Structure 1
Amino acid sequence: MSTAKKITAVIVDDEETGRKTLLNLLNEYCPEVEVVAMADSAASGFTAIRQCHPELVFLDVRMPAADEGFQLLESLDDLDFSVIFTTSYNEYAIRAIKFSALDYLLKPIDILELQKAVARYARKRGRSDRQAIHHLTNAANAGPLKKLGLPAADEVTFVNIDDIVRCEADSNCTVFYLTNRQKILVTKTLKYYDNLLEDTGFYRIHDSHLINLRHIKKYLKEGVALMSDGSQVYVSARKKKGFLDKLNEGFA
C-alpha cells in the first residue's frame, strides 16, 4: 500500500453543483488528492486558502462576475500553491491562462483531463505557481497579452512576444528562438502555439516553422524568409500566398 502523502486541495466555485461534481470526481478518480475545504465565493475562498494552506487550488474563473477568480489570486499575498482553473468557455480567460503556462479544465469536466491535470501537478509538486499567477493577474489587467510563459524542464520562462524570432517543431515539442540567441525547448506541439499566437503577428509558413512576421528582414525569390537572427526559413508552396498576403498587410 502506498504511503505517499496526499495532495491537499481547496475547491472554489460559486455553484454548488460544480463544487460537488468536482469533489466526487476527485474522490473517485484521483484518490491521491484530499479536498480539505470548499468555498462558494472569492471571499470564502480567500479564507479557506489562508486557513488550510493547500498545495493545489481548483478555482472557477467566474464567480459570478467575470474574472473574479483572477481577483481572488490578486488579493492573496502568499501564493505558495499551484492552481488549476475550472471554467466554462471564455476565450479571453482561457487564452490568458495559456499565455501564463497555467492549467485549466473546461466544464463539464472530463475525467481523463482531470486525471491528466492532477498528474501534471504531481510531477511538479512542491513548486508553486507564484510567478505564473503574478503574470496572469498582471496580464488580466493590462489589456493585450504581451508575454508568453514557456514551461521548460522545472521552470517557466516568461518572454516578450516581440522577442520571439521563430518557433520550430521538434517531434511533439517546440523550440523557441529568441532575439538574444537563446533557445528554449517546450514540451508542447507547434500546432498548440500556432493556435495560441494567432492574431499576434505570427504565421505558420511551413509544417515545421512558425515565424514572427516582425522579424523578417527579407523575402528571397527562392521562397526563403530571411530572419533578423540570420536564419533562413523555407516557405512551403501551399503557404506562400497567405504569407505574402500577410506581408502586404503591413508586416514587411
Structure 2
Amino acid sequence: MIFCSLYSGSSGNSMFVSSGNANILIDAGMAGKNIEKALSDIGQNPAELDGIFVTHEHSDHVKGVGVLSRKYNVPVYTNELTWKAMQNIVGNIKEHNIRLIDEGTVTIKDLDILSYKIPHDAAAPQGYAIYNGNKKISIATDLGHYSEEVRKNIEDADVVLLESNHDVEMLKFGPYPYTLKRRVLSDVGHLSNEDCGRAIANLVDGTRRKRVILGHLSETNNYPELAYQTVVNILRESKIDLTKDIGLTVARRDMPSNYVEF
C-alpha cells in the first residue's frame, strides 16, 4: 500500500491512498490545482483516481472536491447528511458520481474502505480505515475526543494519521474569540497535543511497530515542533520505546509529506 499526506492542517486537508491498483483521496480540502500539483509531485495522475472519500463538509476538507470530480469524472463517496451539507460548497457533480454510503465497507478494486463515526461538530462526520489484504491505514482527524469508536478503528493499523490540533495553553491565551475557543475545546471540537499523545500511548501493544503521523495542526494554536515534543514526552512517560514501538512524524501543512510504501 501507499499513503501520502498531500496537505494537512487548518487551511486544508487531503490524503492519497493506493494499493497500486486502486487510487483514492480522503478529502480534497485545497483548490483543485493544488491537489493536482501535489499528486504530480508524488508521481500520481489525478485522472487515475477511483474515488474521493469525504469525512465531513467543512471547507478545509471539501474545497477541491467538485473541481476534481467534474474534471476527472471521479466518484465522490460520503453519507447522505454530509452530502446535503456540502453540495452547495462543491457545486454540481454528475449524478452517477454521487455515491451515498452508510457506515460500513465500500470495495474499490482491491481496497476495502470502512467508514466509522467521529466526534465532531458537523452533519455526520466520519473517519476511514482502508484495507488491502492484511495491511491497514487509518485516518482520524477533527476529533473532539478520543472515542471508543475511533480507538477500535485505528488500534491495529500499520499507518495512522491522527489529529494533534492544538496546544491548550496557546489556544486559551491566543487570538481566537471565546466562542471559538469553547468550540475547539469541546467534545465535538479538535484533539489537543496532550490528548493525542495519550491516545497514541493507548495504541502501543508491543506486538509490532506502528507508524503514527500527527496531522491537522492548527496554524494559530500549534507548532509542528511543539506537537511532536508534547507527544514524545507523553510516550516517554508511558515507557514507550520510540525506536522500537512507534515511528512518529508530523504531516506538512503546505506540501506532500510522509510518503509511505509498505
Q: TM-score, normalised by structure 1?
A: 0.30
Q: Which structure is higher in helix share? A: 1
Who wins on radius of gyration, i.e. which is larger?
1
Q: Which structure is higher in strand share? A: 1
Pick 1 or 2: higher relative contact order, CA cutoff 8 A, min separation 6: 2
Q: TM-score, normalised by structure 2?
A: 0.29
